[in-house]
Each structure stands twice: as C-alpha cells, then as structure tokens.
Amino acid sequence: MYVHFEDFAREQLPGLVRFAAVLTGDRELAQDVVQDALVRAHQRWRRVVATDRPDLYLRKMVVNGYLSWRRRWYQRAVWSTAEVAELREGSFPDPAVRVADSDQLAGLLAGLSRAQQAAIVLRFYEDRDDDEIAAVLGCAVGTVRSHISRGLAVLRGRINTDMEVA
C-alpha cells in the first residue's frame, strides 16, 4: 500500500499520461488532464489512499477531468488537423505515420459517446476488466459491457465502410 503521494504519483504518471493521451487524442491535453487529476488527488490523498484501488480512483479522476473538458470544449481553441500536423512535424522521426495513426484513432473514437470512448480505451488500451472499468466510470458492469459492445459495433461499421470506399 502507498504511504506517500509522491511515490504513488511517480509510479502512476507514465501510465496515466499514456491512458489520457489515447482517451483525448492529444498528448498536451492529456498531460493537463493528468496534472489536474494529480493535484486533486494530492489534496484528497487520505481519501484516495483509503480506497481499495487508488490507481483506479485516479483513473476515474482522469476520466472525469476528460469528460469535464469535453463539456467545456467550446471554451478552448480548436485547431484543424492540418495545423496540428504542422506543429508536430519536427518532433518525431517520421511524423506522417505517427500523425496518421493518431488521427485515425481519434477519428474512429470521435463518433462514440464519451462513455463508450472511455470504456473502450480502458478495455483495449489499459487492459482493464469489467469490474475495474465499472469502478472508473461509476456504473454497473452490465453498462460497461453495453458501452463496449455498442462502441465496437460502431467502430466495425466505420472500418467496413472505409474499406468499401477504398
């Protein structure tokens, strides 16, 4: 069990940022969401460390921060994909591949509900089971299964449609 917040945060940070980056589709936004969650977790450390799974509690804070950001999206500057690609060109050895993969994933997830996005990212990127996802999303296990099933159906339909067009 964790005693010091610093040890917990140091261990959790890399995975949280990766999780949030997949969830948000934007590494900088992911870092902001994680930072906000860690600040809130630090303020409530006694409550967080007292839970059965502080790591899942923190992921729930990240998901809630992401959902809150999505509700306030109109308050933030939104850049087109072309502008983002221009900004990222110099920072990766082969930016075209990385941006294309990121854009494809973000595009596929964008048409899903926020709960479906979070459930799918938690299942397939974080390799979480239904109980853990339910704890993070604050819903029943059956609801998690429904989110994943419906989300995957939408994704399969999109991928099949894209393949037919190509």
Which one-letter amino acid corresponds to residue 65? G
Provide the whole-model pTM: 0.63
Structure tokens at 55: 């790591």
Predicted confidence (pLDDT) per residue in 47-88, tens digit: 999 999 999 999 999 999 888 875 555 445 554 555 555 555
Query: Which tens digit of pLDDT belongs to each residue from 14-30?
Result: 999 999 998 888 888 89
Q: Give, as one character, the DSSP assignment of residue 92.
A: S
Q: Which domains does the chain have, with CATH numbers?
A: 1-78 (no CATH), 111-166 (1.10.10.10)
Cβ–Cβ under 8 Å, residues 133 and 111? no
